[in-house]
Every structure is written in structure tokens, then in C-alpha cells.
Structure 1
Amino acid sequence: MAIADISGRRRFLAQGNVYLPHIAIIEKIIDETPTVRTFRFNFKDEELREEFTFDPGQFAEVSVFGIGEAPFCISSSPTRSDHLEFTAQQVGRLTNALHRLSVGAEIGFRGPYGNSFPLDFLEGKNLVFVGGGIGLAPLRSLIWNVMDNRDKYKNIDIIYGARSPADLCFKYDLDAWEKDKTVSMAITVDKGDESWTG
């Protein structure tokens, strides 16, 4: 593994080549909705597991070998560094292939890429997070980063919506945030069902 500093950002290069993916192993698959899954994974390379860093809002190129590669935001938080996660909705050839994988499967990973949320700018401010459906995935990384550094921020409001209760992603996180007395939560759906009490 090589670490390069490109435009002030660390790049973790497989065999020194920006185009070669690192090998990662899927450790857990979480069914968020009927068409959305979160993939928890870690690198095969032990050194990379220890050294890898990213900032909330960055993305990675994830590949299914023999199928292709696509960009996905890193939906886990850098403050919880024992694993990495990305979340994918089943919409095309590559995401269908991802959804057919099981725990123990190998995937390719290149990154992190892109700009991140301006954490320094957000410190000491009231924060409002607004997301819908799978759009909560990049915000989830930032929300957990903020929650794990709670003393740096003022009020936190989270507004999250989906088409139906079945389309709400990250229900385990929503429950945790709702129980946190320092957070104001509002969850809404376009069309409720018999289970919806909101």
C-alpha cells in the first residue's frame, strides 16, 4: 500500500496505482428496505485497515469483479473506525450484482474521493439535517460524526422522510437519534400504513 498526498488529501493506493482497487471483504449485510442494503466491510490488507481515513461526505469507487465499478458515498462515520459501510439501492446492473453478494465476498474499493462536509465551519453552530429515502446515507456519516463529538455543536435537528414506512432507511439509527435527548427528530412519510403512528 502507498499513501500519496494529492491536493492536500491522502490517497491510499493499491500497489502505488490510483486505478487499482484495494480488496475488501463484506462482513455484514443489512437490509434497510426491500431495495436498499448497507454493506459493512473491511480491507483484506491489515496495514490499510489501520491507516485508512476519510471525512464525512466523501465517496469511494466500489467494484464487483467481472461486472464493473460505481461511486458510493461512505455511509459510516470516521469516528467508528472498526469498519466501513456503504449503502446501495438496487437500480441497475452493478447494484443488482452487489445485492446478490453475500457475507465473505470480495469487492474492490478505491478512495476516498471528493470534498467533505465543512466540519470546522459547523463547529459551535445549530445544525439541521434534512434527508429523504436513501439520501440519508451521506448525512448519516456526518450525523454520527457530530454525535460522537457532541460538545462541539449546539442544537441538532434531524428531518427525514420517505415514500412509505417500508422505505425508511437506517431504522436502528433513527431509533438511537430519537432516544437521544439532545436531538430533535421529525420523521415523515408520503403515505402511511396501518403500522404508521407518526
Structure 2
Amino acid sequence: MSNTNNPYLPEMATVREIIQETHNIKTFRVTLNNEARMKAFSFEPGQVGQLSIFGVGESTFVINSSPTRMDYLQFSVMQAGEVTSRLHELQVGDQIGVRAPLGNWFPYDKMKGKDVVIVGGGIGMAPLRTLLLFMLDNRDDYGKITVIYGARSPQDLTYSYEFDEWRAARDVNLVLTVDAEAPDWEHKVGLIPNILLEENPASENTVAVTCGPPIMIKFTLEALKKLGFTDENIYTTLEKRMKCGVGLCGRCNIGTSYVCVDGPVYSFAQLSKLPNEL
């Protein structure tokens, strides 16, 4: 449900917890100040929100908590510009603006009864975490889940404090990789698309979901095609292209498609019909 009658008006929220994920990524757990609105808040896995620092601006981030776990809303922020730098200065108890939920979501209903392959790189694990937790909390609805997650170094992996929970879930295979050898690293070493090919997940009755840097997605898509996945069964999310979030400013278009109206979640079958602007 929408949490305000005016999509342009942010809800006030309080920062409840801050987690330092990596040297340049922080996770913020927030709650809406209006208790009734917070209690009634609902969203779908993959939807996004706009976080605003008043007097500075706002930016789009996926809600990377799960709708099955509603004690707070979680957003992970990579420091990259003025707004994100100011967000990184926040302390527990500070106030921010939240406009959410916005956009479409991962088609989890279509994934029921199927195996799921999740391929994430760096901060790209944020939207995938949402889908993963949702599926773990509805475990009987889905088949085997393969999670391939990589980053440049072990220090660049987010949500490492949850890896044990993911591994412990029934029929979940968590594969971690980094680009180069690192001290005390006991997992895979290699680029994500190569590790994906090495793992060789079956494409039959399987859906793949990927998110990460554009170059990673490009070669991951090639690897998935080699494994037999069709464009219709591969999904990604483009929330980083979103600006206003409500189709007003026109700055997130890919050809005739507006990411904040038609996305941020797309199948590659949909993207293949649009100009190659990624």
C-alpha cells in the first residue's frame, strides 16, 4: 500500500540502527514516525524508496529488508555523491524523509515451484537480499536456491553477518567469490561469470536474477545464455537509474521505457526490445 496520499511528500522516519557494511557502504534501518503508517506499511520484494536529506536532496534505494520482516525498513547506501555522503553522516536517532514504496517488483509468483539462481556483485546484493529473505520465509514455495555472490575483495562483501543463516536454510547453496587471492579467504577466487559457469546450475525450470555493476551483468548474462537460460527467465533491477520515482522528471528513460514507471525490475526479454543504453 502507499503510505501517503501524496507521492511527492516524504514521510518522516527515524534512523534506528546503522551497520557499516564495507568502507563505503552503510545499511540504515529506519521506522516511520507515524506508528499507524508503519504498522500498515506494505511493499513487494524489489520495490524502492526515496531517502531525503532536507536541504540537500534525495536518492533512490531498494528496500532491502523483506516484507516478511517488518520491524524496520532497511536501505543500504554506497557513498558516491552529495546526498549519499550526507546520508553516511547520519547517526542513530536522526530524522530522514522516506517516499515508498515505488516501482514494480520481482515476479516471485512466477518463480513458485521453480529453482532460483541469484547472482550478485558488490552492492548489487541489496535488492537480491530482499528476494532471498522473502523466499527463505516462504521456503516451501520454491525449489533449490543457488546464491553466487562476489566482490573485489572479502572486505567488499555486504551482509556477511547473514551468510550463516543463508547457508543453514534448506536447499540453499551459497557460493562466495572474490576477484583475487586474499589472506584467510577460504572460498572461491575468480570473476562472478566464471564461477557461475563453474557451478553450472541447470536452466530447466529455473529462474535467474542478477544485479551488480554493468560490466558484471553483461558477462553474467552471456554466461547464463551459455547455460541455457532464456531472456524470459532472467531478471535484473535498474533502480539506480531512477530519479523522481513517479515518472515526472523523465531522466530515467531507456528509449520509451521509464524505469520508475515500468521498472525497476525487468526481464532481459523486455530489455532486449529497448535501446542498448545500459
Quote the RMSD (CA, aligned, Å).
0.9
SS at match of 2:2: strand
- Alignment pair present for 1:11 and 2:6: no
Matched ranges for 1:47-86 at <5 A:
47-86=36-75
In structure 2, what is the equivalent of residue 121 of structure 1? 110
Q: How high is the TM-score relative to the length of structure 2? A: 0.66
In structure 2, what is the equivalent of residue 166 of structure 1? 155
Asked if 2 retains the 8 angstrom alpha-carbon contact of 1:57 and 1:117, the reply is yes
- Alignment pair present for 1:105 and 2:109: no
In structure 1, what is the equivalent of residue 11 of structure 2? 22
Q: Whose RCO is larger (CA < 8 A, sep 6+)?
A: 1
Structure 2: distance between partners of 1:104 and 1:192:
40
Q: How high is the TM-score relative to the length of structure 1? A: 0.92
- Alpha-carbon offset, residue 64 of structure 1: 1.0
Q: Flag as ranges the 4+ runs of structure 1 deviating above 4 A.
A: none
Please list every run of 5 or more consecutive structure 1 residues that lacks an aligned counterpart in the other structure: 1-9
SS at match of 1:176: helix
Asked if 1 retains the 8 angstrom alpha-carbon contact of 2:148 and 2:175, the reply is yes
Asked if 2 retains the 8 angstrom alpha-carbon contact of 1:165 and 1:192, the reply is no
- Alpha-carbon offset, residue 175 of structure 1: 2.3
- Alpha-carbon offset, residue 182 of structure 1: 2.1
Higher strand share goes to which structure?
A: 1
Instruction: Count residues in correspondence.
Output: 187
- Alpha-carbon offset, residue 49 of structure 1: 1.0
What is the identity percentage for the equivalent residue pairs of Structure 1 and Structure 2? Answer: 47
Please list every run of 5 or more consecutive structure 2 residues that lacks an aligned counterpart in the other structure: 188-278
Asked if 2 retains the 8 angstrom alpha-carbon contact of 1:64 and 1:94, the reply is yes
The one-letter code of the counterpart of 1:60 is G
Q: Deviations over 1:85-144 (max 9, x none)?
A: 000001110110000000000000001111100011010000110000000000100000
Asked if 1 retains the 8 angstrom alpha-carbon contact of 2:143 and 2:171, the reply is no
The one-letter code of the counterpart of 1:103 is V
- Alpha-carbon offset, residue 77 of structure 1: 0.3
Matched ranges for 1:112-191 at <5 A:
112-191=101-180
Higher helix share goes to which structure?
A: 2
The one-letter code of the counterpart of 2:26 is R
